[in-house]
Amino acid sequence: MRVLLVLPFLVALVAGATLDFNHYWNANEIDAYLDELATEFPTLASTVNVGTSSEGRRIRGLRVSKDNNNNRPLVIVEGGLRGREWISPMSINYMMHEIVEHYYEFEAILDNVNFLFVPLVNPDGYEFSRSSGNRLWLKSRSVNGNGCFGVDLNRNFGHLWNTVGGSNDPCSDSFVGTAAFSAPETAALRDLIQANAANLALYLSIQSAAQMVLYPFSHSATTNPANVGQLRSLANDVARTLINQHGRIFTSGGAGLLQPAASGSSIDFVAGTIQPQLVFTIETGGAGSYGYDVPESQMAEILSETTYGFLTLAEYVARN
């Protein structure tokens, strides 16, 4: 596997700006990077319009398909569901940087697997967390009334929505929304997943920062997919890969077992409705005062670490 070194890499954008992986990018910079990759690597990458956020920001993705062959097994990687988890979209930016800009290092994967990356599902919450002084803002920014805003997008997906672990209080951080997929962000992601369900082999959600590798189901500690043995074994492999990078301790297991049970997650929707063989969440390494607020000085090793975990999964799909 390619040795991932983050610090020296600069991303030169068409507009003349230079992005690096030593600071957090804003939503517009993430969006521009998708265009840059599609422009520079037209036989490998193309942009995808996913939808529009509550405040009118674009939600976009990048499809990676060698020679535009759409018949390979597909891996969907999604992130940025929660505003405060800045390291999540940055991790996916770095995954795209590796798999596209250094495609020649990953021919064995790209010959056998296609990818669809959606780095920032919640651009409104992300930008509000960045600019409002409320660094720990979690939700989207839909107007709920009575001075309350936003939905916890990872409680708004449709499988067993609003059965456990969420709140019906529009002011709560865990507000589940008014109905399954009531948030335009989750509805847009649902439509994208369903449109690509035929070839979907692996769905991966990148979140932060509990240092875990999780498989469904989030809503229960005792309900598991039929292939739980396969999921458990692969989750253990990914956790070992992550631990081997910088010594951080990662745990692996069922999402509803290792975390408080909560319905309406993206992985439960995919596992319970679309039912591809492989569905996981990687909870990245954490740092800072709350785990979510990773200092820029510590970003580099978390980005490379998380990407190694992603590549472990991608290689598994390519081999199988």
pLDDT of residue 288: 79
Beta strands 212-215 and 251-254, pairing class: parallel
Beta strands 278-284 and 200-208, pairing class: parallel
The C-alpha atoms of residue 178 and residue 85 are separated, in whole angstroms, by 24
pLDDT of residue 272: 97
CA proximity to 232, closest of 218, 251, 219, 209: 251
Amino acid sitting at position 175: F
State the catalytic residues.
283
Q: Which residues contact 156 (CB under 8 A, 6 or more apart)?
A: 176, 177, 180, 181, 182, 183, 186, 264
pLDDT of residue 14: 36
pLDDT of residue 5: 46
pLDDT of residue 2: 56
Residue 131 near residue 37, CB atoms below 8 Å: no
pLDDT of residue 176: 98
Q: What is the pLDDT of residues 18-36, one digit of tens each?
A: 468 989 999 999 999 999 9
Which domains does the chain possess? 27-319 (3.40.630.10)
Beta bridge partners of 49: 60
pLDDT of residue 9: 45
pLDDT of residue 289: 82
pLDDT of residue 1: 53
Token pair 């983050």 is found at 6
Q: What is the pLDDT of residues 195-244, one digit of tens each?
A: 999 999 999 999 999 999 999 999 999 999 999 999 999 999 999 999 99
Parts of the chain with a pLDDT under 70: 1-19
Q: Which residues contact 138 (CB under 8 A, 6 or more apart)?
A: 82, 83, 84, 125, 150, 152, 173
Amino acid sitting at position 47: T
Amino acid sitting at position 112: N
